[in-house]
Amino acid sequence: MPEGSCTAANPFLLVLDLSPGGAHGAWGCRNSPGCRWQRCPWCCQLPPRCQGKSVGQGGGPGSQAAPDGGCWISPQVRSVSPAGPAPPSSCPAGTGDNGGGTRPRHQGHIPREWHQGTIPIPREWHQGRLGWQSRAAPLPRQDTAPLAPLWPCCLSGTPFHQISLSFSVESRSSRCRNSQLQEAARKKLWALGSDDRGVCALFKELSARLVCTQAHEDRFLLTFKTLEEVWKFSTYLTLGYVGSCLEQLLFAQEFWLDCALVEDTELRVTMDEEHLATIYMDLLLQEGNFFSRAVPGAWKSEQEGEEGLQLCRNELIHVKSVGQDSRWEGMSLLTGQRGVVPMPALQPIAQPFYQWFLKNYAVSFGVSQEVSGTSSQAIVKGRCMATKDHRGATWDELSFSKGDPIEIIGFFIPGLPWFVGKSLSTGSIGFVPTQHVNPEACEPLGKGFVFLSEEEKSPVLHVPCNGDEQHFVTLLGELAHTDITSVYRLAGFEPTAAFPQVPPEAAPHGSKEIQVLQSWEEINDWATSSTSELSSPGSETAPATLEDVLLDKLDDLDYPKFFIDLNAGHMDDADVFDPMLTFLNQDSFVPSFQSFYDLSFSFLHSTFYGFSDEDELVLYLETSRNWAKRTRSVWAHVRLCFLLGKLCIKKVKLSQARVYFEEAMSVLDRGFGDLPLLAALHVSLASIYLKQNMKHKFSSLLGKTVTLLVCLPGRSFSWENELELLMYILRESIAVGNAPLEARVCFLIVQLFLQLGRTEEVLPFLEHLQCLSITWLGPGTRSGPLDAAATLGYLYDKKCLPNLALASVRSFVPGSTKGTPTPIWRAGFILQNAPKLLGKQLDRSSMPAVACLYLKQALQSCCDSRAVPMQRTLCAVLSRMFLQHGLLHGAVCYAARAAALGRLLGEEEAFESSLSLGWLHLLQQQPGLARAILQGMASKTQGGAVHNLLAMALSGEGRIQEAAENFLRALHKAKEMGSRRNQAVALANLGQLSLSCGATQLAELYLLWAVRLFAELQGHQELDMELAQVLLWLAQAMVDRQRMEDAKLCYELALGFGLKWQNLRSQLHVTERLCHFYSRVCPDLQACITYHEHWASLARQLQDRELEGNARQALSQLYQALGTPEALRQSLDCTKQCLRIFIDLEEAARAAEAWLQAGKLYYLLQEDELVEMYFQASRLP
């Protein structure tokens, strides 16, 4: 084997054929040409790096002992019989005696029946590998010799738990693969292969473990070790976040700047979901503690008695392992009984969310059977028809006759025992049994799986986002701001810009950026727009919580307030309490009662005042309650009991609160006039019953409580402990399989968690809610009836999951509903969070290109609303973004639009935008256009910045004398203003102008003067980058004057500033100059090698494979020029690295040159046995 080691994360290619006649397989090294060591695929782990030994060094050809003690084999050992060596005990697959052969021995957590054929085992287990070959052979039974493991293995990890994830880049418009972008993504993945920390970090965030990347097949091999990992990853897969995260990883910056291409492109991922589900089941069985449904009829009890658990079909059972494969301990969630359950009678619940929820939110008593299951019926509203006569057993039940039309108040949710209805015949309101009506004529809430009303599509789920709207408006303004009106620019130098050659695979296609520029006539028509039309969106932020919304409304109304007077003489005076009793005794709901039912106990301040502590208020309310009893003021009595109960809840006196609520319920005999009160009473009392484990009372109240809790849209939560009740109802809906109720309750849980500010706990429920919507709406649907992607993004950001946060917000589609996040919020969020993918913070000098599309969509939204100031801000940001990424044409287009909009806003905005446009024309080498803009500005102002830019334009047109005069004017203006930085820039520009004219002595004078001034100002990155550029000019002047040592010093000082600020682009620029200097101007072979090494290192850090190949190729020639054996080895190593890069880039001609060069180097090293092989490889097509 040639010396050298593999450096890629996955340098091995698996070739595996599991055929009935034999088995052949090996790991083949892809990176070290001639590498003959190959890795056992049975372990399914990433092989270690090559050891740099020839075939005979590891025990000789055919040896099964690896150089590192592993399970390597040489390529000569290509066939092993089925009765070959078995894996050692250290191998997780293990062994099993089977007629002299071998078979995978799965650990004791796999039920015995799965080996005996009682329960089908995935046939891939008997094929030794999953997902790497086609499913061919039928399942071998115990009397059949399965395929043997091919090699002994020594690593840990279970092959069964590994699964491949493939990706494909497709065009939405043509519905086919985009081969150009697919190839670009594949090359990026190859580039990441040399340092896969970024890929590993991404999959760690996605709750998966990366085994290896297989760029040649466009896929990743993943593994999972815990149930939570499978659950989270499958959730992200369903939500579409895995593909979005891979887009963020694999697509180049230039791709994101072509908005038309971004909108048309989708990276789709595919995975064997059945295999993933099987992995989950295996991990579930390993844990030995899970929930399952009963499958009666699939087994017959082997023994009768108390040990066996009597089961009903689909009954929910909590199962625990007792150390036997065939029999497990089970507890029925319906009856609470415990007993032994045979394995064939169990069907584990496949949904990971259900397993997690049922384990983490257990209750002390079982399922109530108040809710029934439904799979096809939707939540409806409107009118229904009674199908039979009904006479209400209690005052709150509606009486009606067959054929009576009944109007549904709120929602009709299938599976619930009751709904609130109004008889159109009598006008009465009450609870209606759902079995006594026909809901077929009712109107669904919407198309598909809808679980909330239009009124509920409020900012409730977007509460966390709205507070940031103004923050992002301010952020965009800061990014758009420029100091070009006060700070001079160096000629042709923009420190934040990069002007790379756009790779062919990432070149924009069909870009329509030029169409963004609006016509002058359209813009000028806006000059007469009203002030309100020109205002910037986002200046008013929505309240942070629903409580704030309600309190804001309360502040606008003149609601009655009552003074608490505890004077003893007044407490016995009925007239003192008459106003309050009159107010509370209204027989219907009024807006002023809303504060009674909210979470924040706002009635303490909105309705009552004058008390020093809550004990005084309680005493006053107690006295009022007694007067309500005396005067038989039923509604006042009920409301006062409710308020007293709430105050007890606040002090965690639940038993006392229960007494007050039960008194209110006993008094209440006509409660539907105030539905919020009726709902709050039922829910609060049921929550206490649940909390205090009062099963009988809870069960008797549950049916109607569920209806009031989930069927009334817009109902306010009145107590934090309502969460426990909601969790119980969610448990019931899961137990019976009522999907509409499950979604509705999940929505309410999310709503309550967000209002309570418990963002850590809300995430699983919000993800599940989003998954439910997508699953029920069918394939191709990006969001459900309530798009919670913005809130998910906010929550992921709080959990420091930047890839998921970005993917979620990118999928969010801003709507027109008031209070929901706007396109500006989305653009700002993406701008702020995209740098976190690289572990950085947003910087004006490096704006992420991934935000380009969303900035453009925000711009279009502002155009629709004619928000001119924000339009100008967004145009300026987009212009800066295109400039930083080297697309000057796009930068000029947006700068021109910003200048046109600036003229509508005022002289200051117009001046700044026009100056920026002129500067971009100069960078684009269009001095004529720049001069046309700047000359008119110079006649109106004596600003030095204008003269500085005008001088550059004149210089570009060859008008040297006029250019020098304007530079001098700019210099004098800088001296008058006392700006040393501007003086330094003006002097440097004069030096560069002199250098271009051949006046090297004068250029040296100006540039040295500029360097001295910059040296006094250094300490800021932008200043030091400008100084580095001036040093490069000075170095060129020194070279022209044959002062090589001084030139060397200037070059190395410039490189030092790039190293100081870790600016890779600056280092690359200076290093290329140094390589040229030491190779052509002042030859020094050792120094040239040193800087070429740094050049190659920088290219590697920038993930520029082509540039790295060029650097390595030049470095190989330099080492060869040294001529020593050590240098020839170094040259060979560089050539092999070039070879790998050129093969990855599919550059056949350059790869052939590298093969030939490697053969020559082996010849020079007198290793003749390898020369012919490399020469032959160079001739291959």
Quick: pLDDT tens for 470-494: 889 999 999 999 999 999 999 988 8
More confident call, 1151 vs 443 = 1151
| 120, pLDDT greater than 50 | no
- Tell me the whole-structure pTM to 2 decimals: 0.78
Q: How far is residue 1030 from each of residues 922, 1060, 1135, measured CA to CA in Å?
A: 18, 17, 36
Whole-number Cα distances in Å, 881 to 498, 692, 823, 909: 11, 60, 18, 19
Give the model's pLDDT for residue 1095.
95
CA distance 1040 to 1025: 23
> What does the DSSP 8-state code read for residue 378?
P
361: Cβ contacts below 8 Å, ≥ 6 apart: 727, 730, 731
Identify the band that residue 307 occupies on the pLDDT scale cut at 50, 70 and 90. low
Residue 951 CB neighbour total at 10 angstroms: 27
Tell me the per-residue pLDDT of 781-792, one tens digit each, with 9 for 90 and over.
444 567 788 889
Strands 338-342 and 265-271: unpaired
- DSSP track, 959-1023: -HHHHHHHHHHHHHHHHHHT-HHHHHHHHHHHHHHHHHTT-HHHHHHHHHHHHHHHHHH-SSHHH
CB 676 within 8 A of CB 715: yes
Cα distances (Å, whole numbers) of residue 486 to 3, 850, 916, 946, 1019: 60, 31, 12, 9, 20
Measure the CA–CA gap between 28 and 900, rounded to whole angstroms.
62
pLDDT tens per residue, range 315-348: 888 888 877 767 788 888 887 788 888 878 888 8
Q: What is the pLDDT of residue 757?
A: 84
Give the contacts of 770 (CB within 8 A, at least 6 positions apart): 239, 783, 784, 788, 789, 792
Predicted confidence at residue 100, as pLDDT, reads 37
List CB contacts of 622: < 8 A, sequence separation 6 or more: 644
Cβ within 8 Å of residue 848, ≥6 positions away: 253, 256, 830, 831, 834, 835, 842
DSSP 585-616: T-SS--GGGGGGSSTT-THHHHTEES-SSHHH
* pLDDT of 941 over the 90 cut: no
pLDDT value at residue 736: 87
Percentage, residues of the chain above pLDDT 70: 75
| Higher per-residue confidence, 522 vs 480 | 480
Asked if residue 1117 has pLDDT above 80, the reply is yes
Please state the rounded mean pLDDT for residues 289-310.
Answer: 65
Q: Which of 33-37, 346-350, 945-949, 990-994 has the lowest mean pLDDT?
A: 33-37
Distance CA 1147, CA 1138 (A): 11
Maximum Cα–Cα distance across the chain: 117
Range 718-735 average pLDDT: 89
Q: Is the pLDDT of residue 589 over 70?
A: yes
pLDDT, mean of residues 809-827: 84
Which of 131-140, 722-731, 769-778, 818-827 shows the lowest per-residue confidence on average (mean pLDDT)? 131-140
Strand partners, 346: 294
Question: What integer pLDDT is reported at residue 279 of this predicted model?
Answer: 92
Q: pLDDT tens across 657-672, in order?
A: 999 999 999 998 887 8
First to last CA, the chain: 24
Tell me what pLDDT residue 196 has.
82
In whole angstroms, what is the distance from residue 880 CA to residue 494 CA? 11
pLDDT confidence of residue 720: 84
Q: How far apart, in whole angstroms, are the C-alpha atoms of residue 1010 and residue 1007? A: 5
Rounded to an integer, the average pLDDT of 149-167 is 58
Backbone Cα Rg of the chain: 38
pLDDT band at 739; cut points 50, 70, 90: confident
Residue 974 has pLDDT above 90, yes or no: yes
What is the full DSSP assignment across 685-702?
A: HHHHHHHTT-HHHHHHHH
Confidence of residue 241 (pLDDT cuts 50, 70, 90): very high
pLDDT digits (tens, 9 = 90+) for 161-190: 789 999 999 999 999 999 999 999 998 898
- Highest average pLDDT, of 522-536, 782-796, 972-986, comes from 972-986
Alpha carbon distance 72, 80 (integer Å): 14
Q: What angle do CA 841, 847, 852 make, to 5 degrees?
A: 130
Alpha-carbon gap, residue 978 to 250, rounded angstroms: 49
Q: How does pLDDT run across 919-938, given as a tens digit for each residue?
A: 999 999 999 999 999 988 87
pLDDT in tens, 29-43: 433 444 433 333 333
pLDDT tens digits, 838-893: 888 888 888 999 999 999 999 999 999 999 999 999 999 999 999 998 899 999 99
CB distance 205 to 222 below 8 Å: no
The Cα–Cα gap between 982 and 977 comes to: 9
For the chain, what percent of residues have pLDDT higher than 90? 47
Q: Mean of the per-residue pLDDT values for the chain?
A: 78
The candidate with the shortest Cα–Cα distance to 462, out of 812, 4, 965, is 812
Query: CA 491, CA 989: separation in Å to the nearest integer?
Result: 6
Q: pLDDT for 1076-1089, tens place per residue?
A: 999 999 999 999 99
What pLDDT score was predicted for residue 605? Answer: 72
345-371: per-residue pLDDT in tens? 888 888 999 999 999 988 777 777 788
Evaluate if residue 444 carries a pLDDT over 50.
yes
Beta partners for 429? 422
pLDDT value of position 1018: 75
Cα distances (angstroms) measured from residue 509 to each of 108, 129, 181, 256, 792? 57, 42, 11, 12, 33
Q: What per-residue confidence (pLDDT) applies to 323?
A: 74
CA distance 570 to 567: 5
Given a cut of 50, whether residue 97 has pLDDT beyond it is: no
pLDDT at residue 1175 greater than cutoff 80: yes
What is residue 449's predicted lDDT score, i.e. its pLDDT? 67
Give the SS3 label for residue 721: coil
- In DSSP terms, which residues pair with 373 in a beta bridge? none
- Nearest 10 degrees: Cα torsion 918, 920, 925, 930: -10
pLDDT in tens, 618-646: 888 898 899 899 889 999 999 999 999 99
